[in-house]
Structure 1
């Protein structure tokens, strides 16, 4: 019997496609963010054995039931908040993720957002393009000597901690699940002390709107907020208000709620924000690594073989 894989939200890297083809597995991909109706219609028609989840709104029970042959759902990345893992588990469908594959890329992106803000690169780029040249008015700063507060100390947080330490930042971290007691800082205290807060936690019931009006109010008026985690970790209206009135100095955002964000999102009007379209983990190097891990796991599981336990997501 032939096997079929559908990649929702775009194809995997060419090296991944080659792996699937060599294993005798047919693959096809949708455009980014297909509608729920389009997904259900496609899965009902093609009856795939596995789904690779890239850019899609939500994989719920109805979507999972659209293909009776479905044996696996694999996230092309690490976060699985767009997959109803509990529903998949109840249906006997394992869920896997390419944990750690893009950790270095995301850490670099968070670091880049910090530099863009602290060096005022957005405004300086526009200034020069507009014919300006007045170095005496520049008010950029250094990251050296500043306190970086990390919310989450998984692979991304640890990578960023090493990068930040190399430029002379003092690193503190809050992660109640990390085994190392050194990462057990009190969140409120760290928010009040840090010059930069960078979010690297998964989206859970406990982390949804973790950064809100109250927690933003604890931060320094000179503080910067970086989010390369999930948009829902931040209460966006509260953040907009904090940026408008100067509760904090600026924000670097790679993720939003919802995605893609609305064209009239008030963040677009703010000059103290640097934005990117959820691409922190999709450099060519990271995309290739994610695709190789994802396709390798898909091939193994569809052939009845085991994969490393760290890639399996518990319901």
Structure 2
């Protein structure tokens, strides 16, 4: 019997499609953010053995039940908050994630947001485009000698730590689940989140979205930060209490924020963040450079092919509720 894979929210890359063809697997794809009714109809018709989850609103139990042949759910990326992992576990369906495949791209994007804020790039770009030159108003500063506080010490956090050290930044991190070996000699382990926030000049979020991390950074946490501090979020929008962040940015509680993710996504057209000039924004693209997308697709498809063919898949890629 021919195996079938359906990619929800857009196709995998051509290289990954080639792997599927070479394995004798048929593949189909929807557009971005398919409606639930469309997804259910496609899965009922195609009866895939695997689904790849890209740009979707939510993979719930109804969707997981739509194909009687479904054997695996694979996230085209690392974060699985758009998949009901607990429902998949109840149904006996393994959930795989392409952990680490886009880590370098996300870390570079976090660094780019940090540098853009430190060098006042947004306002200087607007100033020059508006005809300004002589009456310079510049609030840039050096990152040398300042402390980066990482919330989460997975592969992205470790890569970012390595990137900022040649700039002369010191690094501390908070991650209650990371072993001591994840920190190394150049990264201080913060005693707790409040001490990390209070002692950092830049706080960068690299934790998954879980019930414990939802609204992890709210008004009380923002008040612990320095008024000169920057917040960078390339993790998930829901990790930050967005209304509290808006008030903190308006009131000078913190100096600025670089945001690649929002709650909800896509965000509303009248989101109050759009009107703030101390914010750098991007549309959740930190991990989707061509390099990262290619590697994520290849890793995702290789894991799917391995599981469907009865080969071992590294336990590192399995997601548990």
Same fold (TM over 0.5): yes
The residue that corresponds to 1:301 in the other structure is 307
For structure 2, the 5+ residue unaligned runs are: none
Distance between the aligned counterparts of 2:246 and 2:126, measured in 1?
22
| Mapped contact 2:172–2:190 kept (Cα < 8 A) | no
Distance between the aligned counterparts of 1:174 and 1:134, measured in 2?
44
For structure 1, the 5+ residue unaligned runs are: none
* TM-fit CA distance, 1:90: 1.0
Superposition pairs for residues 162-241 of structure 1, below 5 Å?
162-180=162-180, 182-241=188-247
Task: Give a deviation string over 1:222-274, Cα, whole Å, max 9, x none.
Answer: 11000000110000010011111111111000011111111111111111111
* TM-fit CA distance, 1:33: 1.1
Query: Residues 34, 204 of structure 1: CA spacing in aligned structure 2 closer, same or farther, 3 A cutoff?
Result: same
The residue that corresponds to 1:87 in the other structure is 87
Task: Give a deviation string over 1:89-148, Cα, whole Å, max 9, x none.
Answer: 111111000011111110000000000101011111111111111374322111111111
**What TM-score, normalized to structure 1?**
0.98
Distance between the aligned counterparts of 1:154 and 1:15, measured in 2?
27
CA RMSD of aligned residues (A): 1.1
Distance between the aligned counterparts of 2:208 and 2:190, measured in 1?
17
Tell me whether 1:246 sits opposite 2:252 in the alignment: yes
| Mapped contact 1:175–1:185 kept (Cα < 8 A) | no
Distance between the aligned counterparts of 1:7 and 1:285, measured in 2?
19
The residue that corresponds to 2:103 in the other structure is 103
The residue that corresponds to 2:8 in the other structure is 8
Distance between the aligned counterparts of 2:142 and 2:287, measured in 1?
25
Kindly report structure 1 stretches of 4+ aligned residues shifted beyond 6 Å: none
Matched residue of 2:51: which SS? strand
| Mapped contact 2:190–2:196 kept (Cα < 8 A) | no
| Mapped contact 1:176–1:184 kept (Cα < 8 A) | no
**What TM-score, normalized to structure 2?**
0.96
